[in-house]
Amino acid sequence: MVDDEKILVFAPVPQLTVTVEEPGEMPELHVHPGGQGIWQARMCAALGASVTLCAAVGGEIGRVIAGLLEQENLRVRAVTRDTGSGWYVHDRRDGGRTEVAEYPGAPLGRHDLDELYTAALAEGLRARLAVLSGAAAPGVVRPDVYRRLATDLNNHGVQVVADLTGDHLNAVLQGGVAFLKISHEELIDSGRAAGYDDDALLDAARQLRADGAAAVLISRAERPSIALLDDKAYLVRLPPLQTVDHRGAGDSMTAGVATVLARGGDLREAVRTGAAAGALNVTRHGLGTGHRDAIAELTTRVELTRLTA
């Protein structure tokens, strides 16, 4: 049975995140489950969505991740993988973010992928919408998994929202995407955009639509985002907020969009909510976090202005 507001977040290989901070006289150690899909799922849940997270975890690190996920406001469908999960250690005692060490996790083997795919497909078919998120490194999950999953979900009427790059983006576009969020840096790095200006990014958005994305949202850090919705282009503006940590803003933006679409909201409402969620996330240390009432208030301050090029 399909839950009309349920969201599946496909987070194939979450990581254990360890962060050292020193807000006062004594250092603090923070240990959380993390990675793009975790942060997206966390924000969807903060916005009131019913979220199922589908992931593969393994080894000693995987057992820690699984235990920490039990404390999240999520339904978790975890598959035990044959190889170890990834992790990272960051030092933020000076106010910045220094990478001490990182391991993205071992590539998923055939058996792991079969089990994960079956679990994700089952949960996706029970949902109204599926968010397909990436891995910490491209070699951990094969791109074709995303093409197959997007195709199968689309064939059964499940909306697909994606935030992917490189070969994984190309693969998911072949399967079809209802809404794609991507950053301008990713478009330029992949050769899909010729530059940072509005015209170049809008050309890239139109090509993404031709390639299989029904709607596209391009984030641009401190500059207005660009949205291509129903053949209409918009600049997305929000008065700036003081930044504590810019990481996770794009994932919160994707989550805001997904939550509105899962409730049957229209594309412009989804973009406004996504922009507000992303903006609020940068004011906080926790990735994929924020209060629903603050996001609702910020949503009313997001401006969509028609862009012609």
CATH class of 6-306: alpha beta
Which band of pLDDT confidence, cut at 50, 70 and 90, is reported for residue 4?
low
Model confidence over 192-246: pLDDT tens digits? 999 889 999 999 999 999 999 999 999 987 789 999 999 899 999 886 765 555 5
Ranking 10-14, 108-112, 173-177, 284-288 by mean pLDDT, the lowest is 284-288
Mind listing the pLDDT tens digit for each residue in 120-174? 999 999 999 999 999 999 999 999 999 999 999 999 999 999 999 999 999 999 9
Q: What is the pLDDT of residues 40-62, one digit of tens each?
A: 999 999 999 999 999 999 999 99
Instruction: Give the DSSP per-residue string, the chain.
Output: ---TTEEEEE-SS-EEEEEEE-SSSS-EEEEEEESHHHHHHHHHHHTT-EEEEEEEE-HHHHHHHHHHHTTSSSEEEEEE-SS--EEEEEE-TTSS-EEEEEE--PPP-HHHHHHHHHHHHHHHHTSSEEEEE--SSGGGS-THHHHHHHHHHHHTT-EEEEE--HHHHHHHHHH-BSEEEEEHHHHHHTTS-S-SSHHHHHHHHHHHHHHTBSSEEEEETTEEEEEEETTEEEEEE------S--TTHHHHHHHHHHHHHHTT--HHHHHHHHHHHHHHHTTSSSTT---HHHHHHHHTT-EEEE---
Tell me the domain boundaries of the chain. 6-306
